[in-house]
Amino acid sequence: MAGKFVSLSQRLRTVFTVALLTVATYATAQTLREGHPDTYVVKRGDTLWDIAGRFLQRPWLWPEIWQANPQIRNPHLIYPGDVISLAYLDRVQQAQVQPGPRAEPEPINAIPLADVEKFLKDLRVVDKFDDLPYVVGLEEDHLRTTQGRVAYIRKLTAQPGDRFLVVRPTVRYREIKRRGLCCDRMQTADLDFRGRRTPDFGTYWSNVVFPDKGKELLGYELQRVNAGTVTRGEGSGIQASTLLLDESNREVRIGDRLIPVDAQQYDLQFFPHPPKQDTKYGKARVLAVADSLQNAGPRDVIAISVGSREGVDNGTVFSMWREGSQTVDRVEKGADRDPDTVFFENKVRLPDEFAGHVIVFRTFEKMSYGLVMDSVKPTKVGYHLKHPDATL
């Protein structure tokens, strides 16, 4: 992936209690790990996922435990110093645990803010960008420029004093619909300075075999580059507005686009939960890994091919799977049989292989960003996403 990617209400000032009923539902009871403590004191640096992972086999089910006690006003808002109880109780009795001294004024998040903040602030996905104003030239005809210098902008309707973000189209994501085959194919393409796709011979045959009518755009990724203030508009024969750059973030180049500065609101105080609806096998896939990597491990950010239209929202948890190989049965076909001479339907499909779990933290219409929370093996581009409790 070419680019890189709270509002809080009132504090929880009541007794913080978590009760597990001895005759609770079977699904809830079997999630507890053996040897769990009766109580746990929340520490600085904890996340809701980390705490749940200490006690539960399936951390994404922690609301089933914490919501068992109706005294809890908001299980999102727990603080370092709070004491969590996991005592076994009957249906009527509940454990009352007084909170410890509050070590921090802010509640902990579902996932670490530090791991995802740059993706919340610096990345967004749009359906188009051709109509956005763009950088047509730079001060002293430089090829790149940065803080304290000016960029000249075409097609910008603005007044002096208006502020804008400078963003760069970096990646195009598409889905290729392969009718009659197992799975649709996901395709990424890097973009040049104009925002146009760079030549990629690796996808040449896909473009030939599957015409444009069989492709769906999932979105263009825009990376924040810089920000600035308009100091002069067009007029008197001048055909470009002047933007004074005021960030030392990244260098601006010709072709970068402008969008109005918006106060992006993001909130990590959400419940981890399974997907709200099923998706066709092969529809939910890993599109890309942050920092242009191919493999992802814990605390890496990935882009995935489903979004709000598939019912995905912040907190959705998926399990990640390597697609099972198609292999030749050499016992039946012969040890020397060339795999290329065996038709696809005559090969043996092996099971998908589990890799780990990812939690969605930012959602767009057709795709999302997620943070890998745990893994038993590296997750790669193209891996399938399934229900977190999937077994195959």
Query: CA-CA distance, 19 to 334, in Å (whole number)?
Result: 60
Residue with tokens 């001294």: 101
Q: In angstroms, what is the C-alpha Rg of the chain?
A: 25
Q: How does residue 290 score in pLDDT terms, banded at 50, 70 and 90?
A: confident
pLDDT at 16: 25
What is the pLDDT at residue 128? Answer: 93
- By three-state DSSP, how is residue 85 classified? strand
Q: What are 196-236's pLDDT values in tens digits?
A: 777 654 444 444 444 455 678 999 999 999 999 999 999 88
Q: Indicate whether 143 pLDDT > 60.
A: yes
Residues 123-136: pLDDT tens digits?
Answer: 999 999 999 999 99
**For position 344, what pLDDT does the model report?**
65
Q: State mean pLDDT over 134-156.
A: 96
What Å distances lie between residue 131 and 126, 156, 286, 289, CA to CA? 12, 10, 29, 28
- The answer to whether 80 and 103 have CB atoms below 8 angstroms apart is yes
User: What DSSP string runs through 14-62?
Assistant: S-----EETT--HHHHTTBPTT--SEEE--TT--HHHHHHHHBSSGGGH
Domain annotation for the chain: domains and CATH numbers? 20-89 (3.10.350), 122-260 (no CATH), 286-386 (2.40.10)
